[in-house]
């Protein structure tokens, strides 16, 4: 059990997550300071109120602190936008790295220094068939054909009950 826990705890993903949480906490304190010390005083120039955290509405004996809520919303928006921009940048870098890797593999393949395995090759999606087999003469014809060009059989009514007799006759052959 200790080995399993050690393996789990020291796995790369867990360590990355721990580092991310620590950096996220530090980043949150920076954003809190940014909002409290820079953004809110700038907003106070237009509104005349410096400290928004103390704003509240008292109803009965309870107070609704909407000032703290506004500050938290601004903190959240700044953190969300920052994370969005970071993830977007990382995704662009990963895409460029994949393209560079693919270009490098193509260069090596041309020089004969690299050979792709079957697992490296991405299969092409199956295309929609554009031909069908005539049920009378068994030749390949265009899928839109209503009459076979080889045996001149009519194919439009082939799925009706009359053509079922023809199918049975072919099956007896």
47 pLDDT above the threshold of 70:
yes
Task: Please state which of the ranges 60-64, 106-110, 139-143, 148-152 shows the lowest mean pLDDT.
Answer: 106-110
C-beta of residue 54 within 8 angstroms of C-beta of residue 67: yes
Q: What distance in Å separates the CA atoms of residue 27 and residue 124, rounded to the nearest whole number?
A: 45
CATH 1.10.1200 segments of the chain? 2-111
67: Cα separation from own chain's centroid: 37
Q: What distance in Å separates the CA atoms of residue 74 and residue 81, rounded to the nearest whole number?
A: 11
Top pLDDT among 172 and 131 is at: 131
Q: What distance in Å separates the CA atoms of residue 141 and residue 56, rounded to the nearest whole number?
A: 79
Class of the 2-111 domain?
mainly alpha
Indicate whether this model's pTM tops 0.75: no
Tokens of 98: 């994949």
pLDDT in tens, 66-80: 888 888 888 888 888
Beta bridge mates, 147:
154
């Amino acid at each position: 059990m200790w080995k399993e826990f050690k393996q789990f705890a020291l796995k790369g993903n867990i360590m990355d997550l721990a580092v991310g949480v620590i950096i996220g906490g530090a980043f949150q304190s920076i954003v809190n300071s940014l909002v409290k010390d820079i953004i809110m005083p700038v907003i106070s120039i237009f509104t005349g109120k410096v400290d928004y955290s103390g704003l509240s509405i008292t109803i009965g004996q309870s107070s609704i602190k909407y000032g703290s809520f506004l500050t938290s919303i601004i903190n959240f928006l700044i953190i969300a936008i920052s994370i969005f921009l970071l993830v977007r940048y990382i995704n662009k870098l990963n895409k460029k790295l994949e393209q560079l890797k693919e270009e490098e593999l193509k260069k090596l393949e041309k020089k004969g220094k690299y050979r792709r395995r079957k697992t490296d090759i991405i299969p092409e999606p199956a295309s929609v068939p554009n031909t069908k087999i005539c049920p009378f003469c068994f030749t390949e014809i265009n899928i839109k054909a209503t009459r076979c060009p080889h045996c001149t059989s009519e194919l439009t009514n082939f799925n009706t009950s009359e053509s079922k007799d023809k199918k049975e006759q072919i099956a007896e052959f």
